[in-house]
Structure 1
Amino acid sequence: MKLTSISKSLSKLALRTSVALPLVLAPALSVTVLEAAGVSAPFASAQAQEQKKPSNQKSRKVPAMREAAYKKLEKAQEAADAEDWAGALVALQEMDASKKRYNGYEIAQMYNFFGVVYYSTERYKEAIPYFKKVLNQGEKNLPVALEVGTLFTLAQLYFVTEDYKQAINYLNKWFKVSDRITADSYALRAQAYNQVGNQSKALADINIAVSMYEKEGKVPKEGWYGLQQYVYFERNDYKKVAGVLEKLVQHYPKPVYYKTLAAMYGELKRDKDQLHMMEAAYLAGALEKDRDLLNMGYLFMGHEMPYKGAKVIAKGIQEKKIPRTAKNLETLAQAYQMAQELQKAIPQLEAAAQLSDKGEIYSRLAGIYLDLDQNEKAVSMGKKALAKGKIKRVDTLHIVLGMANANLKRYDAAIKSLREASKDERSEKFAKQWMEFVKGEQEREKQLAI
């Protein structure tokens, strides 16, 4: 007789749930109903029927499985093997209708099978009452492992149905009687505690789970680290968050972990570590969004590596990961300027100026061209700036225009611009000094022409 189909279907319990942590199979759900009883033939002794018991529990004597009950359960098993779940339920309901004929152990196995069938058809809430009825048969009718396994099964089912308080209730009962507690068990209870807002207990349990794995030289599961990180973050313990993220980056390298760790380093004022982590993320291709790439550029600029910052931004714009906006082009130009790469900065500023709806960038360009002694371009940029308007310091721009025109011996234009500049008290003194100088030069040119 085949007794495997229910076992196979039940082994999918962890895979069908949507919770962050994988569920651990309960003993009661990892074997078929008849195999769980240890029955290989009718009238087997109670001792032979008992499941493999936890080592810290004494053996229990339970009533024997009789032939009549065995045949009823076998009929349900045959239907389950064919995945005829409706047929299996009919067979069990027939048995339930005459349950007065059966002893407590046989009834417990019947209810256990009911629970299995409802689980297999994903009717989890309907499965729960039947597993409770298994426990209601009392210790004298339950093998130790069946009782212990059913407690864990109920904990899992309550978890799946998002009744986390009851999941914790049954997990705590199971913890008291089971000697098969694993790291996964602590992780499951930690997740349940977190769901009900008990972060202290959640943290204690998940720390145990992680520690158990690490002591065995195994890498803890990603979700476990994730829960640790979350709780520490909620507690504003950024040092611990960084420690967990360092493990995540090592064992589960993902863009979000690189970026979050860099942010934590920033919170902890570990500026060099922040830069190195962001650079590692960039080199690994983990930075794809324009905001992340621009932040990388700013970090380089802030750490006196502006040329690296410029390369990051320029590549981002070229690959169309960073939008070619006036602001972004201006940032690129600023990085080039900081790196003393003025010839690379100017084309970016000119492009930014064309895209901008303000004259501010043209005004900056006028000053740069004046410094480069390219006076015609300085005047041209200055005129474009005035045409667009919205300039922060018009007085400064007029001084630039005055000086550039003076250098071109356009003295009347120079005096006109300087006179405009003198109307602002911030530039009045300097502008008047330059006007006197320009008038002197103009007079000197007239004298030389005579």
Structure 2
Amino acid sequence: MNMTTVTKGLSKLVLRTSVALPLLLAPAVSVTVLEAVGVSGSFAQAQAAEQKTRKTPAMRESAFKYLGKAQEAAEAQNFQGALAALKEMEAGKDKLNGYEAAQMYYFYGYVYYSMEKYPQAITYYKKVLEQGEENLPVALEVGTLLTIAQLYFVTEDYKQAVNYLNKWFAVADNINADSYALRAQAYYQLGDNAKALADMNKAVSMFEQEGKVPKENWYGLQRFLYYDKNDYKQVTNILEKLVKHYPKGEYYKQLAGMYGELKREDDMLHMMEAAYIAGALQKEKELLNMAYLYMGAEMPYKGAKVIDKGIKEKKIERTSKNLETLAQAYQMAQELQKSIPELEAAASMSDKGDIYSRLAGIYLDLDKNDKAVDMGAKALKKGGIKRPDQLYIVLGMANANLKKYDDSLKFFKKALDDKRSEKFAKQWITFVESEQEREKQLAM
């Protein structure tokens, strides 16, 4: 029986990953596991393509019968039966040539791999390599090195994974981007960030040069490794690619943060706005930060709308501080009528009188002197005012406008106690006393 017949006869073997491979080629490790680290499912098969030839002993019919029996059992998922057939074959291993022994150990490795007994699989795949180059087709040797590396990766023995990957790199002819990505992951797990970054950069570069979009988690590891180096420009470049190719709210937020680090305020605002529109800002702190950005960029009305919507959706707590910020945004937007109710609600919830004091000033500016006096009284009742002298000035002016001169003078005289308001208070006292005297003269 010739080699072609053997290969065809054994090529029916199908891994649980649904990838059909000839027995001559080492099987791929679980596609699910490898795809989780950004390695494509066809990686192992692609790497195993034989590019070199090597003269090896032929497989005899007697050995083929044992392997065929083991294959039949394996296809039925009767792995114990497959192992029994292989042990029967191994009992006469003294009669096997090196190539037949290699195929036997290879099949052992495959069966243990199928049983998810990875340490045993590794042991037998190593026995394949022990048969020596003269007994191994190039593809079998190269593919087995890669399979062992992958199995070490799956079992989280990253030191050995790197060891066998390096051996494989030394003999493989068709190393591709997935190859570098896998080794980058292993180096990263070992804490060798410099080598991990070099390999991941190579993987990304190879894909991009071919006009392909690198895998999302390749960019993710690349971004992390540059961030670890405080290379914010590179992190920003990678995040810009992630936003373009894998648009997610989380990437918008991270890119906005990087723009902030680089003092690119306009870009930061635009990216945060994109995150907000995408619904990625859900936490109170995030929404308030968005509002502050709008306010700082002289777009206070947009900021007010963010806070107002957040409060209505119960994503922003209706606290005195948050209502005060909302009122401030409306004030900056010249929307005093919308600002006042929010400020009054904030004042009623506050344990200090400062907000009532601000309201008194606003009502004075609106020429609503009675309301100014009322708010000032509430402020004084609550206490804890940072600048009582300013409130005294407001109350003095409001009472003067109402022609309540005695009350007006009382508040202006209280303001004299603070040097910051002393000069202004004296001017108003002079004015109020003159008005009071003038009205007395008119009344006579």
Distance 1:7 1:102 in 2: 29
User: Residue 352 of structure 1: which of 340, 343, 346 is its match?
Assistant: 346
Retained in 2: the 8 A contact 1:297–1:312? yes
TM alignment of 1:242-321, pairs within 5 A: 242-321=236-315
Match status 1:208 vs 2:202: yes
Aligned-partner SS, 1:6: coil
Query: Which of 5, 10, 15 is residue 6 of structure 1 equivalent to?
Result: 15
User: What does 1:129-148 correspond to in 2, within 5 Å?
Assistant: 129-148=123-142
* Deviation string, structure 1 residues 29-66 (Cα, Å, up to 9, x no partner): x59xxxxxxxxxxxxxxxxxxx98632x3x22222222
SS at match of 1:64: coil
Whole-Å Cα distance in 1 between the matches of residues 144 and 43 of structure 2? 7
* Percent of paired sites with the same residue: 67
| Residues 158-206 of structure 1: per-residue CA shift (max 9 Å, x gap) | 1112222211111111111111211111111112222222222222222
Contact 1:225 1:244 in 2 (8 A): yes
Q: Which 5+ residue runs of structure 1 have no aligned equivalent? A: 32-50
**SS state at 2:15 partner:** helix
Q: Aligned equivalents of 1:155 and 1:260: distance in 2?
A: 34
Counterpart pick for 2:98 among 89, 95, 104: 104
CA contact (8 A) 2:323 2:346 kept: yes
Residue number in structure 2 paired with 1:177: 171
CA contact (8 A) 1:24 1:185 kept: no
May I ask how many residue pairs the two structures share in their alignment?
427
TM superposition shift of 1:394: 1.6
- Residue 408 of structure 1, aligned match among 377, 402, 408: 402
Give the counterpart letter for 1:54 in structure 2: E
Alignment of 1:317-336 (within 5 A): 317-336=311-330
Shift of 1:26: 5.9
Deviation digits for residues 123-180 of structure 1 (CA, Å, limit 9, x no counterpart): 2223211111111111111111010001111111111122222111111111111112
Kindly state the Cα deviation for residue 13 of structure 1 after the two structures are TM-superposed.
0.7
Amino acid at match of 2:262: L
| Structure 2: distance between partners of 1:118 and 1:329 | 65
Corresponding letter in the other structure for 2:82: A
Q: Does 1:20 align with 2:37?
A: yes
**Counterpart in 2 of 1:46?**
none
Change in Cα spacing, 1:374 to 1:101, as seen in structure 2 (3 Å) is: same
One-letter identity of the residue aligned with 1:215: Q
Assess, with a 3 A threshold, how the Cα gap between structure 1 residues 376 and 93 changes in structure 2: closer, same or farther.
Answer: farther
Q: Distance in 2 between matches of 1:98 and 1:422?
A: 112
Per-residue displacement from partner, 1:236-292 (whole Å, max 9, x unpaired)?
221111111111111100011111111111111212111222222223333333222
Could you tell me how far 1:343 is from its partner in structure 2? 1.6
State the 1:90 CA deviation. 2.9
Q: 1:8 to 1:275 in 2, by over 3 A?
A: closer
Task: Please give the per-residue CA displacement for 1:380-403, whole angstroms capped at 9, x wherever unaligned.
Answer: 111222222222112211221222
Q: Secondary structure at the match of 2:31?
A: helix
CA pair 372-8 structure 1, distance change in 2 beyond 3 A: closer
Residue in 2 aligned with 1:166? 160
Deviation string, structure 1 residues 332-368 (Cα, Å, up to 9, x no partner):
2111111222222112211222222222211111111
Using the alignment, how far apart are the partners of 1:351 and 1:375 within structure 2?
20
Quote the residue 1:67 is aligned against: 61
Deviation at 1:22, TM superposition (A): 2.8
Residue type matched to 2:124 in 1?
A: Y
Q: Which residue of 1 aligns with 2:108?
A: 114
Residue equivalent to 2:360: 366
Q: Which amino acid aligns with 2:179?
A: S
Change (3 A) 1:7 1:101: farther
CA contact (8 A) 1:54 1:178 kept: no
The question of 1:54 aligning with 2:71 is answered: no
Q: Extract unaligned runs of 5+ from structure 2.
A: 1-8, 19-26
For residues 197 and 127 of structure 1, what CA distance do their matches in structure 2 show?
27
Instruction: Output the amino acid matched with 1:448.
Output: L
- Do 2:13 and 2:71's aligned partners in 1 also have CA atoms closer than 8 Å? no
